[in-house]
Chains A and B, each alone.
Chain A
């Protein structure tokens, strides 16, 4: 089955800790994206990657970091520098940039 998987589904973190969210796709897509959704709002772009070993900041990159060492994987690290990290995080991919995007099931992060 082709698709995008994210893990974990729920994540709890203490203040001051870094945490890494996983995103994997087996669709052979070149482009991958991370979005953040706050309650009652639309999604905002954190980071995106058009190709392996390359990534660009989105609209709200402060306090986040990413890597793209493999085509299938685009992990997101939420660092202690992110002031308000509690949110729903969604990963997406597309065949290449500027094309239709497909989304994973999301990870709900709560900072205690």
Chain B
């Protein structure tokens, strides 16, 4: 199946800083999502982005499918951005399963 690698595994920022999270994958994809898991465990949809670029407020994401990576940008970070960020995707040969990366643990300090 598809292999998904996220980096960095941990990231500590001061409030107001910018950051870039990366997701590399091993196969062509037809579905790629970014999630934020809050401290209560809820997975919040950030982007559905199998290709191209999208922006939503302080967050934006870019997927370059031909080079098999996706980036999540967080600008002017806030303490409420803390949590775990996951990318997940469905490979073209994976059937119905979303394969998740191991996540990036983000801590934003005041």
Given contacts A105-B41, A105-B42, contact A45 B30 (CB under 8 A): no
Given A42-B86, A43-B88, A101 and B98 contact (CB-CB distance below 8 Å): yes
Which chain B positions have C-beta within 8 A of A43?
Answer: 86, 88, 98, 100
CA distance A101 to B32 in the complex (A): 10
Interface: A12 (CB within 8 A): no
Q: Is the CB of B101 within 8 A of A50?
A: no
Task: Please determine whether A98 and B102 come into contact, CB atoms closer than 8 angstroms.
Answer: no
A residues within 8 A CB of B102? 40-42
Docked-complex contact B33 and A58, CB < 8 angstroms? no
A/B pair count, beta carbons within 8 Å = 54
Chain A 81-112, CB-CB to B under 8 Å as 1, else 0, gives 00000001010000001111111011010000
* Total count of chain B residues near the partner, CB < 8 A: 21
Number of A residues near B (Cβ < 8 Å) is: 26
B48-A100 in contact (CB<8A): yes
Do A48 and B96 touch across chains, with their CB atoms under 8 A apart?
yes
One digit per residue, 1 when the CB lies within 8 angstroms of any chain B CB and 0 when it does not, for chain A 39-79 equals 01111110010100000101100000000000000000000
* Chain A positions within 8 Å of B31 at CB level: 98-100
Binding site for A on B (CB under 8 A): 4, 30-31, 33, 35, 40-43, 45, 48, 86, 88, 90, 96-98, 100-103
Instruction: Please list 11 pairs of residues, one from A and one from B, whose beta carbons are closer than 8 Å in the complex, sorted by A's number.
Output: A33-B98, A48-B97, A50-B96, A58-B97, A59-B97, A98-B30, A99-B31, A100-B45, A102-B45, A105-B42, A106-B41
Which A residues lie at the B interface, using CB under 8 A? 31, 33, 37, 40-45, 48, 50, 56, 58-59, 88, 90, 97-103, 105-106, 108
**With contacts A33-B98, A44-B100, A102-B45 known, what are 4 further pairs, Cβ within 8 A?**
A37-B41, A42-B4, A98-B31, A98-B96
Closest 7 CB pairs of A and B: A42-B100, A103-B43, A100-B48, A45-B97, A43-B100, A106-B41, A48-B96
